[in-house]
Structure 1
Amino acid sequence: MEIETVSAEETSRAVVLKEGELEKRSDNLLQLWRRKTCVLTADSLSLYADAQKRSRGKELKLRSIRKVDCVERTGKFVYFTIVTTDNKEIDFRCSGEESCWNAVITMALIDFQNKKAIQDFKTRQDQESGSPGQQERRAARAP
């Protein structure tokens, strides 16, 4: 899983898609819910323990997220799980008023994946068009 430490200055340079509070379930034995200030940009989700300081936080790159899963609404909270490319699960919850977090993260992830697919396609196309074998095949097909 690709979680990096990030500073507030790094996050502020990117266009913010959504900002607010989420609660993240800890990985330790007690699995307590910890309130985090979160900033979603086009390429990452940054989590800060202290909303005022935001001096250091954790950054979860969208390239390391496979999907947003297990969305469930209870009376007070909306729960969802982020599944990473290495199959780790990170549980989040937000209050009913902030319930669109899972949808905004999902849309940012889809947008990121689409841009990456287009970029990969163009790179593959450029590599194929530059190869001698491709040029010969084109010449053979020409009328």
Structure 2
Amino acid sequence: MWSAQQNQEDNVLSFNTEAARAAHPGMPMSGVTHLDVTSEKILAAILASLDDNKGEDVVQIDLRGKTAIGDYMVICSGRSSRQVGALAENVVDDLKQQFGVLSKIEGKETGDWVLIDTGDVIVHVFRPEVREFYQLEKMWLPAGASAKATTQ
């Protein structure tokens, strides 16, 4: 069960390692400073976490030059609401452990569609039927591009 302090921490967007250290005393940060964290490193960590935890149909979309909301978007599926929540929680925990990145997470309670905002990378974790309904890949991929071409 999450404490009120942990829920409050999850509602904060920050790349500030000092803030992460204050929020999590004693948590190893591996000497990473906020200047060392790039969107490419965050993306790689997210993709590794999703792969390690059996995320399905993982697609990454390069948003640079298209929008100011972030540099990358990652979309993936989990087989059930429970797996969707677990995938999202593992991504958030892995980013905290590796980089001290505190992410905003929405939708974990229902487990149909979980949004993780890391600042530079936006992650959507869906149940397959919900993903099919919203078809975010079609909205963000260039015209004529196939989601399978960008699958990791």
Q: Which entry has the higher C-alpha Rg, 1 or 2?
A: 1
Interval containing the TM-score (normalised by the shorter chain): under 0.3
**More helix by percentage:** 2
**More strand by percentage:** 1
Instruction: Give me the TM-score of the superposition, normalised by structure 2.
Output: 0.26
Instruction: Give me the TM-score of the superposition, normalised by structure 1.
Output: 0.27
